[in-house]
A and B are shown apart, each in its own frame.
Chain A
Amino acid sequence: SQTIHQWPATLVQPVGSPLSLECTVEGTSNPNLYWYRQAAGRGLQLLFYSVGIGQISSEVPQNLSASRPQDRQFILSSKKLLLSDSGFYLCAWSLSGRTDTQYFGPGTRLTVL
C-alpha cells in the first residue's frame, strides 16, 4: 500500500531564515505531487504541483519554491521566510494518469516569528 511522509511535523523559524520541507511517497511510481498551504481556520491553497521529475507548476507567485529531485520526493523551500508564510503545509499525491483521488500527508505546522 502507498504511504506519504512529511517532515518535520512542526517547525518554528525566525523571519528571514531559510526553509526546507520534505515529502516522500512510498509504494507507487511516478505519482503526481502537490504542496498546499492552509492558514488557521481557512481552506487549502494550492502552491505547487508536479507531474514528474523536474516538472514543477507554480500556482501562487511568492517567495516559496518547490523541487522534485527524485521520483517520489517533493521539497518545498524558501530562501527567506516571511511572517505570512506561517501556516499548515500539506503534501499530497495522486496516481499518475488516474488523478481521481488525492491522498494527503500528515502536514507540517510552520510558525514564523
Chain B
Amino acid sequence: AQTVTQSQPEMSVQEAETVTLSCTYDTSENNYYLFWYKQPPSRQMILVIRQEAYKQQNATENRFSVNFQKAAKSFSLKISDSQLGDTAMYFCAFRTSGTYKYIFGTGTRLKVLA
C-alpha cells in the first residue's frame, strides 16, 4: 500500500529562523509527484511546492525548498527566514503517474513564534 508519513505532529520555530519538516513515503512505483501543501487557520489548502520524482534537482520556491532523497523515499520541506504568516498545518502528499489518487500525510502543525 502507498503511504505518506509525517512523524512530527507539531513543531515551533522562532521568527527569522529555519525549520525543516519531515516526510517519508512508500511506493513501489518509479514515476510520481510529490507536494507540500499549507493549510493556514482559514483552512484553505495552498500549494507550497512540488517535485517530480524524475528530477534530481531539488525544487525551490522563494523561502521554501525541499530535500528530495528518492532512494530513501524522503521529501522534507525547509522553510528559511520563517515568518509569522507561515504558521499553519503542512501536509505532504504524493501521486503516482497514471493514477488519479493523491495520498496525504497526517500533517505537521507549525507555529512561528515572535
Show the binding face of A for B, using Cβ within 8 Å. 32, 34, 38, 42-44, 46, 49, 51, 57, 59, 88, 90, 92, 94, 99-104, 106-107, 109
Contact = CB atoms under 8 A, between A and B. Distances in A.
A42 B89 CA distance: 10
B102 A43 contact: no
Interface string B48-79: 00101000000000000000000000000000
Interface in B23-52: 33, 35, 37, 42-47, 50, 52
Nearest to B37: A104
A88 B39 CA distance: 12
Contacts of B46: 104
Interface residues of B, number: 22
A42 B108 CA distance: 10
A100 B47 contact: no
B104 A44 contact: yes
Contacts of A94: 100
B9 to A, nearest CB: 9
Most buried by A among B46, B52, B101: B101
B45 to A, nearest CB: 4
B22 interface: no
7 contacts: A34-B102, A43-B106, A99-B99, A102-B35, A102-B102, A104-B46, A109-B43
A70 B11 CA distance: 43
Contacts of B101: 46, 49, 59
Contacts of B100: 32, 49, 51, 57, 94, 99
A100 B107 contact: no
Most buried by A among B35, B45, B101, B106: B45
